[in-house]
């Protein structure tokens, strides 16, 4: 294995194990920021040692053991400052004696530890934007650049939010817990947003070599199910669960054997998980029954349900989808929602109408570097018989995309744009 192979292996392991490392150490240390710092130190240790000793048989366990040793060292240095620290050291040492097999510890279900960490990060003392950014940093392992891309914000702005949020958490000594009652209600909206962002990152990775990160999708789904139990009368919790179940039902059809993306209209619908679709529709019914009107997540779930219940691409109810996007836009003013609405209108009324909407969004500051704006333009220009412009749009989109698989897909589409047998307009998924 070359040094480059080992480096890639370390980063791949890191992406998978980072949430478990942070949640495990946070539970022991009662300090989320310190837990993140120590896991970063464990990563640095791996980068130093593994190129020399090779990748260990169980790399996740190695990282956890390394992080725990650093946690013990840190607590020992500080235990003279407070009796509480001394107690934590004893607890840690007793835990290690009782459960020395770190491999087995990593294989255990982490229960709701991840959700508890999100509730901690979503404390009302932090701003709404800071909560989501901090959670994505610690739980998804996203870089500041990737988070900035997800929020369509400048990288420096997001970096400042994360630094301030971590300082607030460290200074205030916030409890590491899942709140109940009124406190749970106060944090629920932010927690739903974070779980939604985690699922989205797993469903379409913002960067990296793979388009899907199934572990993040599974973690988000599990947390969504727990949230509907914690807040059974909250319609948006059921709406978010419905949205995630319905989207996740298509995961098996979204990539080919090589891991390359397959767009919605090209997917083999026989691979869609019908049981998961039924669970999603049931959760959507529950959300509708509890609410006076569908909310942000329930409306998106209703859109995905239109796809999930269409037996063939031609049976998709595009006018209804366009209407649902219009209702969504009335709830949340977002150029991304408007872009998605344009896609639906393009399918329902024709590409010329949609292109006018998309071109009207070109001046939106938030979409300045948003690759899907150019990708959608490429689709519409293709259908309008303007191949040279379509090719240019796809090439621009590929240059802006952060994910390797998506870049390759967009470059292929740019190359196909001038081909005489190019396929029909494809909808984004």
pLDDT digits (tens, 9 = 90+) for 22-79: 888 887 777 777 888 888 898 899 888 888 888 888 888 899 899 888 888 887 777 6
Could you tell me which of 145, 140, 152 has the C-alpha nearest to residue 199?
A: 140
Could you tell me which of 122, 286, 121 has the C-alpha nearest to residue 189?
A: 122
How much is the pLDDT for 330?
95
How much is the pLDDT for 380?
96
CB–CB of 290/235 below 8 Å?
Answer: yes
How much is the pLDDT for 282?
97
Any bridge partners for residue 208, and if so which?
A: 403
Burial 89-101 (b: 16+ CB within 10 A, else e): beebeeeeeeeee
How much is the pLDDT for 82?
63
The pTM assigned to this predicted structure is 0.76
Q: Which 8-state DSSP code applies to residue 235?
A: H
Between vectors from CA 422 to CA 419 and to CA 423, what angle results, nearest 5°? 175
The single residue listed with the structure tokens 């817990």 is 177
How much is the pLDDT for 106?
40
Instruction: For residue 286, give the 3-state DSSP assignment.
Output: helix
Q: Poorest-confidence range of 37-51, 163-177, 288-302?
A: 163-177
Name the most confidently modeled range: 93-102, 167-176, 393-402: 393-402
Residue 17 CB contacts under 8 Å (≥ 6 apart), including other chains:
59, 60, 63, 64, 106
Between vectors from CA 334 to CA 382 and to CA 412, what angle results, nearest 5°? 25
Structure confidence at residue 313 as a pLDDT band (50, 70, 90): very high
Structure confidence at residue 176 as a pLDDT band (50, 70, 90): low
Give the C-alpha separation, 99 to 101, whole Å: 5
**103 burial via Cβ count (<10 Å: 0-12, 13-18, 19+):** middle
CB–CB of 158/133 below 8 Å?
Answer: yes
Structure confidence at residue 295 as a pLDDT band (50, 70, 90): very high
In the predicted model, is pLDDT for residue 355 greater than 80?
yes
Structure confidence at residue 359 as a pLDDT band (50, 70, 90): very high
How much is the pLDDT for 361?
95
Retrieve residue 332's tokens. Answer: 């949340």
Rg of the chain over Cα atoms, rounded to whole angstroms, equals 23
In the predicted model, is pLDDT for residue 365 greater than 90?
no
How much is the pLDDT for 335?
94
What backbone phi and psi angles, to 5 degrees, belong to 255?
-135, 155
Retrieve residue 409's tokens. Answer: 């897909």
Mean pLDDT value across residues 185-191: 86
Give the C-alpha separation, 282 to 228, whole Å: 13
Structure confidence at residue 104 as a pLDDT band (50, 70, 90): very low
Structure confidence at residue 424 as a pLDDT band (50, 70, 90): very low
Structure confidence at residue 183 as a pLDDT band (50, 70, 90): confident
Query: How many residues are there in the chain?
Result: 429
Mean pLDDT of the chain: 85
Could you tell me which of 385, 345, 337, 391 has the C-alpha nearest to residue 364?
A: 337
Q: Which long-range contacts (CB under 8 A, 24 or more apart) does 414-423 make?
A: 414/378, 414/390, 415/391, 417/378, 417/381, 417/382, 417/387, 417/388, 417/390, 417/391, 418/387, 418/388, 418/391, 422/382, 422/387
Cα separation values, 245 from 7, 119, 161, 272, 322, Å: 34, 22, 31, 11, 21
Retrieve residue 209's tokens. Answer: 């070599």
Around Cβ 284, how many Cβ atoms within 10 Å? Answer: 25
Any bridge partners for residue 285, and if so which?
A: none
The single residue listed with the structure tokens 């995905």 is 304
DSSP, residue by residue, 365-387: GGGTT-HHHHHHHHHHHHHTT-H
How much is the pLDDT for 390?
96
In the predicted model, is pLDDT for residue 93 greater than 80?
no
**52 burial via Cβ count (<10 Å: 0-12, 13-18, 19+):** exposed
CB–CB of 233/290 below 8 Å?
Answer: yes
For residue range 117-152, list pLDDT tens digits in order.
788 888 878 887 888 888 888 776 777 887 887 777
Burial 227-236 (b: 16+ CB within 10 A, else e): bbebbeebbb
How much is the pLDDT for 387?
94
Structure confidence at residue 381 as a pLDDT band (50, 70, 90): very high
In the predicted model, is pLDDT for residue 266 greater than 90?
yes
294 vs 320, residue with greater confidence: 320
How much is the pLDDT for 429?
44
Tell me how far the alpha carbon of residue 313 is from its chain's centroid: 27
Mean pLDDT value across residues 324-343: 95
Structure confidence at residue 421 as a pLDDT band (50, 70, 90): low
Structure confidence at residue 310 as a pLDDT band (50, 70, 90): very high
Instruction: For residue 259, give the 3-state DSSP assignment.
Output: coil
384 vs 145, residue with greater confidence: 384
Structure confidence at residue 173 as a pLDDT band (50, 70, 90): low
């Amino acid at each position: 294995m070359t040094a480059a192979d080992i480096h890639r292996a370390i980063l791949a392991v890191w992406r998978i194990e980072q949430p478990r490392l942070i949640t495990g150490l946070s539970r022991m240390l009662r300090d989320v920021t310190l837990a993140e710092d120590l896991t970063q130190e464990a990563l640095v240790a791996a980068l130093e040692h593994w190129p020399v000793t090779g990748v260990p048989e169980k790399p996740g366990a190695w990282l956890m053991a390394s992080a725990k040793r650093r946690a013990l060292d840190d607590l020992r240095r500080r235990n003279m400052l407070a009796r509480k620290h001394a107690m934590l050291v004893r607890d840690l040492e007793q835990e290690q004696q009782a459960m020395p097999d770190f491999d087995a510890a990593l294989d255990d279900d982490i229960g709701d530890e991840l959700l508890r960490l999100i509730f901690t990060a979503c404390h009302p003392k932090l701003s709404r934007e800071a909560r989501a950014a901090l959670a994505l940093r610690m739980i998804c392992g996203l870089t500041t650049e990737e988070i900035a891309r997800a929020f369509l914000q400048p990288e420096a702005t997001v970096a400042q939010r994360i630094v301030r949020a971590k300082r607030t958490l460290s200074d205030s000594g916030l409890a590491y817990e899942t709140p109940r009652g009124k406190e749970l209600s106060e944090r629920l909206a932010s927690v739903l947003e974070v779980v939604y962002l985690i699922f989205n990152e797993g469903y379409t990775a913002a960067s990296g070599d793979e388009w899907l990160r199934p572990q993040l999708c599974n973690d988000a789904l599990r947390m969504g199910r727990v949230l509907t139990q914690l807040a059974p009368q909250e319609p948006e919790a059921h709406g978010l669960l419905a949205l995630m179940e319905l989207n996740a039902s298509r995961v098996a059809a979204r990539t080919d054997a090589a891991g390359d993306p397959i767009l919605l209209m090209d997917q083999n619908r026989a691979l869609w998980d019908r049981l998961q679709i039924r669970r999603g529709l049931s959760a959507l019914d529950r959300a509708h029954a509890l609410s006076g009107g569908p909310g942000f997540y329930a409306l998106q779930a209703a859109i995905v349900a239109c796809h999930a219940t269409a037996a063939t691409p031609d049976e998709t109810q595009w006018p209804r989808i366009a209407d649902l996007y219009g209702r969504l836009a009335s709830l949340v003013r977002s150029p991304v929602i408007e872009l998605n609405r344009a896609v639906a209108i393009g399918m329902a009324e024709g590409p010329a109408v949609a292109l006018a909407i998309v071109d009207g969004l070109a001046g939106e500051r938030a979409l300045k570097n948003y690759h899907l704006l150019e990708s959608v333009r490429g689709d519409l220009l293709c259908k309008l018989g303007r191949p040279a412009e379509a090719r240019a749009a796809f090439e621009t989109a590929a240059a802006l995309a952060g994910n390797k698989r998506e870049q390759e897909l967009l470059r292929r589409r740019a190359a196909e744009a001038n081909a005489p047998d190019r396929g029909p307009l494809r909808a984004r998924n």
